[in-house]
Amino acid sequence: MTLSTGTQVKTYLNYINGKWVSASSNEIAPSVNPANKNEVVGYVQRSSKEDLDLAVEAAKKAQIQWRKLSGAARGEYLYKVANVLEQRLDDIAKTMTEEMGKTFPEAKGETARGIAILRYYAGEGMRKVGDVIPSTDSEALMFTTRVPLGVVGLITPWNFPVAIPIWKMAPALVYGNTVVIKPALETSVTAAKMVECFAEAGLPTGVLNFVTGSGSVIGQGIIDHPDISGISFTGSDQVGKQVAQGAVARGAKYQLEMGGKNPVFVADDADLEQAVDATISGGLRSTGQKCTATSRVIVQSGVYDEFKSKLLAKVREIKVGHGLHAESWMGPCASENQLETVLSYIEKGMAEGATLLHGGKRAEGEGLENGYFVEPTVFEDVYSNMIIAQEEIFGPVLALIKVDTIEQALEIANDVQYGLSASIFTQNIGNMLSFINEMDAGLVRINAESAGVELQAPFGGLKQSSSGSREQGQAAIEFFTAIKTVFVKA
């Protein structure tokens, strides 16, 4: 299982029908460290349609017994997975940092989040799943219960390689579905290590199947597979639309969580220290690669200059570097592709006439030569019709937009196709209520960064950010089950 490239680099396998197996093509793909492109973190399988078919067949077979278990019994497995993941937290977080670039504390935080999500859904296995509804027949009993969809296909992105797969897998499994998951190719080593925790916890054969490979082959294969009853997707808008079209064409249930262009509004009466810290944390942590990352910073004119100078003072302090180095606050972009996208948006911003206040280029310095590092970047003189104010950049780029009133702020904040997350910083209850009522976003946050979510609350966007269903919390039951209405008469 090891390939030699100087040092020993491990090759990770697919997990199908309870066994770790190579792809039928025998092809593998390297996973590269974005902080040092010369370092291969591991190799993963480049699977083909045949491997996916085997995984779906195994999941279909396993579903017959899995759905018969009680929710509590299925939850017991999730508690075991959580315990294994907890034991392996540091190792998996380190791999995540090496494979995707986010800093080690962030990777540990994400892995800990995965553990908490597993425990939360383990408990959900014992909660109520239906209602008793009075029948017009006084001698009958009428109630609802929930049934699993069957085999579900999960397609996940690279930016949260542990938390996003788990927030789909845990509810899928506890509600009685069996799973085929295809993680982003770029973070499949981290995903493989996470799946090892499920295997080690003794999940029954075939209940969880893991197939790595390209989106166009394995992702598309999940979209088209007649035995996959539901598809849960997180990723880009373009691919999300393909998932929806394919699912509608064959009558499968689908769920999409996609991009964002998340605003914060800093009102004249805001606590500026709080607003600055939340803008930096929300916009630049994880190198801006969160779907809920702050991108547009709308600031009321009375505090604009003061906010700007406080923000710049702190952005200048940000230390860019390898995510495993304790002094690094911001790691690299997750891939070369991602770096190029970010740099091209920065160029577009300058070409459109925005003023560059900080950053704007690849980050240079000792130890950064071979990585996809970019400087934290701040623009001003940004207007809503500019590309950098409209399109998701998915990088550490903040666009300052000056307004006079909260009405203007709301108009600009809503003037995008997305509606994922939005924050306001103010002490005024009227401003808060206007923002809560009029902001088109699935997550509205008052005096808190745009990028914080809690696992026990519903998560998802409005407008083009989402297909409208919600993940996490108790909301997850809506996608991963169907309601059955039962009428009983003696």
Residues within the interface to ligand NAP (CB under 6 A):
155-160, 182, 184-186, 214-216, 219-220, 223, 234-236, 239, 242, 257-260, 291, 392, 394, 420, 461, 465
The nearest distance, CB 335 to ligand NAP, in angstroms, is: 9
Q: Would you call 197 a catalytic residue per the annotation?
A: no
Q: How far is the CB of 327 from ligand NAP (least distance, A)?
A: 27
| Pair 475, 171: CB distance under 8 Å | no
Q: How near is the Cβ of 134 to ligand NAP at its closest, in Å?
A: 39
Query: Which entry of 110, 291, 333, 471 is annotated as an active-site residue?
Result: 291
Q: Which is nearer to ligand NAP, 423 or 426 (CB)?
A: 423
Cβ neighbours for 16, distance < 8 A, ≥ 6 positions apart:
51, 54, 55, 58, 209, 210, 211
- Whole-number Å distance between alpha carbons of 53 and 226: 10
Residue closer to ligand NAP (CB basis): 95 or 156: 156
3-state secondary structure of 26: coil
Q: Which two tokens stand for residue 11?
A: 């090759």
The catalytically annotated residue of 257, 380, 392, 471 is 257
Nearer to ligand NAP by C-beta: 147 or 462? 462
| Residue whose CB is less far from ligand NAP, 127 or 250 | 250
As measured in angstroms, the least distance from the Cβ of 35 to ligand NAP is: 19
Q: How far is the CB of 166 from ligand NAP (least distance, A)?
A: 13
Name the pairing type of β-strands 7-10 and 2-5. Answer: antiparallel
Q: Which is nearer to ligand NAP, 425 or 459 (by Cβ)? A: 459
Tell me which residue has tokens 């952005």.
Answer: 315
Burial string for 420-441 (b: 16+ CB within 10 Å, else e) reads: bbbbbbbeeeebbebbeeebbb
In angstroms, rounded to a whole number, what is the distance separating the alpha carbons of residues 416 and 390? Answer: 6
Toward ligand NAP, which CB reaches closer, 171 or 219?
219
- C-alpha–C-alpha distance, residues 394 and 292, integer Å: 10
291 is catalytic: yes
Q: Is 253 exposed, middle or buried (0-12, 13-18, 19+ CB in 10 A)?
A: middle
Cα–Cα distance measured from residue 399 to residue 286, given in angstroms and rounded to the nearest whole number: 17
Look up residue 128 and give its DSSP letter: -
> At closest approach, how far in Å is the CB of 173 from ligand NAP?
19
Hey, which residues are catalytic here?
Answer: 257, 291
